[in-house]
Structure 1
Amino acid sequence: MKKEGVNIELVLGSIRIALGKMAKEGISEPNKALSEMITRIKEAGTAGEANAMALEMFGVRAGPDMAAAIREGRLDLDELIESIKTSPETIEKAAKDTETVADKFAVLKNEMMVSLEPLGKKLLESIEGAMPAIQKLIQGITGIIEKFNALSSAQQNMILKLALVAATIGPVLTVVGKLVSVGGTLFSTFG
């Protein structure tokens, strides 16, 4: 097409416009409708009629150029589609040839997301199932905090001091328990 002087970007953009219009109109077979429109433009009686059809289908900017390319035989979509189908250069091959490390990581990330999806769904189902219990726990903690805030500052200080003592006694009891255990082992060994 470039050899024939056809602006590929313009053609592709105008085909996109035409396909969008066909989709809005509910045309179920856009390839067939596009081929029919090209045939009608090619066989139009005058350049004016061809331009009018092309303007309506391909838009104001590309319509006249598309009509001229179609009528002059410089635009053959069937040939373009066939050359794409039979070409050894495919989009997939070009993508593989130009693939970077970042692209490979993106593919890996997507594959991981797909494979982890079932696990994520099960995890969400579990969390949703546990929500009533979590809500009751939060309500219980909120109730305790509200009751604590309702106490006088002297009562609050006393509770905090008792909590600190309990927190300190826990490790001390653990150490004492280990000493008693070691002592018992020594007595039985030397006994």
Structure 2
Amino acid sequence: MNRVQSEKFRDVHLNHKYNLIHMLPSTEVPALSGFYLKSFYNGTKRYRLRLPESIVEPDNKFCGNCGAVRIPLFNTDMSITESNIENSGESIRALQYTCLHCKTQAQLAPTRIQKEIPERDEQRVKFKKEEQKKDKVNKKTSARERAKKRKRSTLSNMLSQKNEEKKNKSFSLSLDSIIQND
């Protein structure tokens, strides 16, 4: 097989395994889910491919215990859990998944929520946001300046500047030099 054929085979092979993983919940054979998922991961290792974090993390797209694809209301129950943080007025919400095949629970996407913000704090938040916008503008200008400095510091630019200095130091008269001196 040449390179193009081997890449095509690899793509077809991994697509087939990935599609099998997603077809298993409809067959209602959860025991095969983990086997096919492991086979898919081994195939990506064999071909040295990097998968996105959403696929690789154990409790994100697939159940970390049995390997089944999470399909809400079909093989996964979802609920929102909320816990309060003492003395801060904040609470943490998390999405909790429960696999209906193996009864494993996993929490995803914890977010902090402030319950009440006094008016003074709201004004501070607005002021901080405005300051952050100004800082971003300043960072852009400094990045532009750095880019210009990098362009000026190349070897060809340095040589051209030296050549211009030599031309300016020479005593040949030109119409431009006469006009500039007047």
Question: Is the pair's TM-score, using the shorter chain for normalization, greater than 0.5?
Answer: no
Which has the higher Rg, Structure 1 or Structure 2?
A: 1
Q: What's the TM-score once normalised by structure 1's chain length?
A: 0.28
Which structure has more helix as a fraction of its residues? 1
Which structure has more strand as a fraction of its residues? 2
